[in-house]
Structure 1
């Protein structure tokens, strides 16, 4: 996965308008159990694309496909009403507090405490949207969030609490946050770091939080040049991970060095025999030779095994596939999981960094990987897993992803039955429009 993609060609082009499509065509049979909304978010700049723009920068757009009772009810796309979008569209500003260099909350979507929230890094506050994708307001969790939030919180599937690590370039610390099931911050703990890192994600287990203090850090020169994402590879920063008891009230972090790398996305973390096991996608280097996009080295699946008593980390590469956007059956978050899914990226040097030609299913117990190929000219973004039912076995259900077809210059929602992962899709929702490659996808049930 490498090389700078041409952001003015293929499915990296932004779309220029908001549309609503009622009852898009369905090929095959949509499982009637899929009652909910598939959503995807990512940057979609207003105006012509600018090759000087950071890949993660630009007016966020949300795309959604509503499925109900075996039918596709609608597709729609809407820009988040950031300050810049409101100004360009001639609309009144979005209400709510403001923090950070940008309000581009285009990194992720979560559902928490009855709210659908668009999230971003680097001091961005969450933005609440409606089920129709209309922007409601920027939120600070009822006044309990003192600064920005994170694009990658972790939700405990048992308690409904949400945990996050928020980074901003000004203070010499990141904030470890716990948000109750009531949607209010119940703990905010500063964790001292070196030069402020881009701590895009962290890991959570039953008893521990694990922080990734890695060498993508604040770059004053990028900030002076006007970048709203002023982070670059910094060899002088070093690479380390930190372990803290999950309910700690003091920042007594156990720091351990790891080989230089960067982690955007862990797959999962859990505890086993007094050790912490983390499966993650590891980039050898990012934002160095290509400071505007994460495509210069091939990310691969690794296992890190941490012994908190000895203060050691064992690092082991598990696969050679270039992959990103790892996902699991979310019912197994913070517990032992056997299966993981990911997007197989194009080979290093071919230009892709947000999509790829196939989806992977890893059997971590057997060390086996199955591949679903989409065919020539077709590229998938991040997939989401939906279990067949509340009591279904792990990873038994459906995998949903948006797939772009270059021949038609259109996109479709592909539904794979994991019982026949490498076979033909169970159903395909064909859209008459194109959904640009974006960042994260989310399933909003009900």
Structure 2
């Protein structure tokens, strides 16, 4: 039985790379001084294609260093969990899964991120694993793959989830100094996979949607078959009601095992995901004033769907506008990846006074991985960028949306190309919203190599192509990490 997430450009690379003085076509803008970072799953060992889930692969970070118009190096490094010989002292609940979902720079540190209560990691500038990330000892428990940086304050806002917390998620604010500043626990309908959230200048936005912790999948993935029945009863009684007691959580995750030793209860990397679609779970959006508490959250019901990635959110008079990528459903018939229904670009408008949510379609062409100019996070944006999917749900094109004009344009690449999420970087701190470059990886199936493409954000024309004599597998998220000023 094949698995599409182990084939084509999804297939793992077998070794780390360190390459210098990369070949470039075109001209790298001189103002780009920093690292283009990207992360994704890359199983270290051979995996079972029948059960492997794309979200669960060992993490591998990729980086290209740009300076003074040159591409100085490309590096790829596995995230070294304890199971892969990494640093000791992981404090979080599931220590065997490698951070594989997002990578950012904050407070002088490079952070490899994952969600669901799993350990995030601090990396060096050269992408070597240093330690488990706990924000200078101020944050216990897991974090998220999708924090949002407030452009006005430099703070990282986030919403995190973990099945062991029962029916709550956690909103946190990490200061520009890298330390926890604020934490609020918010009750939700059960134990949802809250992959991301949104932020406006006024509100924190929660997406409580029908992908929830699946006790049957979790039990099959972690516990001996002789213990399936009692483990299922315990989890069914606890999830959505109270937090999982420490001993039970340790059994389910293997967090008490020593590094390098097998644990019968360990939630293993490169295996299945213990979350699935639940049609009986109500879909709703919650809004909480930024300085409010859990009792200030207001909930609004919407049609059943799932959102991995909002594009942005903003206040519009008394309304809250959400631009999102909407999946009709996910992890229903296919447990191994998010490819059941073409995701569309939608807009939801919440009227807090009437309690009504208006849902409209912006673009019905399949798209994912939306980005904006991040100087406008929480504010009204004009332009948004997303990756377009073909009929086989492969990411092939880049789509630019003009929300003011109601138009879009598409950039295609070489035949058979697969592309990554593209990230916007302005040409200068005070540049206009669309004045800058878009950066992303493009894999050429004919050569089986990858280029880092720099595009003019206004025209989508190529500014430069940085040619890697290797392949970067299809992965998840990336960001530009500018060199810190002294």
Q: Give TM-score, length-normalised by structure 1.
A: 0.94
What secondary structure does 1:170 align onto?
A: helix
Q: Does 1:390 align with 2:390?
A: no
- The SS at the match of 1:263 is coil
Alpha-carbon offset, residue 252 of structure 1: 2.5
1:198 CA displacement: 0.2
- In our comparison, the structure showing a higher alpha carbon Rg is 2
CA distance 1:24–1:290, change in 2 (3 Å): same
Preserved CA contact (<8 Å) 1:189 1:251: no
Partner of residue 129, structure 1 = 123
2: CA distance, partners of 1:32 / 1:207: 37
Q: What residue ranges of structure 2 are gaps of 5+ in the alignment?
A: 223-266, 268-272
2:465 equivalent to 1:428: yes
Give the whole-Å Cα distance in 2 for the aligned partners of 1:393 and 1:181: 25
CA contact under 8 A between 1:261 and 1:283: conserved in structure 2?
yes
Question: Structure 1 residues 5 and 324, CA, compared in 2 at 3 Å: closer, same or farther?
Answer: farther
Residue 187 (structure 1) aligns with: 182
Work out whether residues 402 and 411 of structure 1, in 8 Å CA contact, stay in contact via their aligned partners in 2: yes
Q: 3-state SS of the aligned residue for 1:376?
A: coil
Separation in 1, partners of 2:54, 2:90: 27
1:216 to 199, 208, 211: 211
The residue number in structure 2 matching 1:296 is 340
**Are the aligned partners of 1:216 and 1:262 in contact in 2 as well (CA < 8 Å)?**
yes
1:101 shift after superposition: 6.1
Q: State the SS of the aligned residue for 2:375.
A: helix
1:330 aligns with 2:364: no
SS at match of 1:251: helix
CA shift, 1:351, in A, is 4.6
Alignment-derived partner of residue 89 in structure 1: none
Structure 1 counterpart SS, 2:84: helix
Once the two structures are TM-superposed, the CA of residue 98 in structure 1 deviates from its matched residue by 2.9
Partners of 2:40 and 2:475 within 8 A in 1: yes
The alpha-carbon deviation at position 251 of structure 1 amounts to 3.1
Work out whether 1:368 is the aligned partner of 2:421.
Answer: no
Whose helix proportion is higher, 1 or 2? 2
1: CA distance between counterparts of 2:153 and 2:84?
37
Is the aligned partner of 1:381 residue 2:420? yes
Determine the C-alpha separation between the residues in 2 that align with 1:204 and 1:163. Answer: 8
Query: What is the CA RMSD across the aligned residues, in angstroms?
Result: 1.4
How many angstroms apart in 1 are the aligned matches of 2:128 and 2:366? 36
Equivalent residue for 2:26, pick from 7, 25, 28? 28
**1:278-357 maps to which residues of 2 (within 5 A)?**
278-347=322-391, 350-352=392-394, 356-357=395-396
What do residues 57-114 of structure 1 show as CA deviations (whole Å, max 9, x unaligned)? 111000011111111101010001012222xxxxx53444232364421111122222
CA contact (8 A) 2:40 2:60 kept: yes
Aligned to 2:52: 53
Confirm whether residue 441 of structure 1 aligns to residue 481 of structure 2: no
Q: Per the alignment, in what secondary structure is the counterpart of residue 360 of structure 2?
A: strand
Aligned to 2:15: 17
Instruction: Identify the residue that residue 73 of structure 1 maps to in structure 2.
Output: 72
Q: Per-residue displacement from partner, 1:225-275 (whole Å, max 9, x unpaired)?
A: 216431100111110010111111343311110000000000011101111
* CA offsets 1:256-310 (integer angstroms, 9 cap, x no match): 1000000000001110111111101000000011111000100010011111222
The number of aligned residues is: 431
1:405 partnered with 2:444: yes
Judge which range, 285-294 or 97-106, deviates more. Answer: 97-106
Gaps of 5+ in 1: 87-91
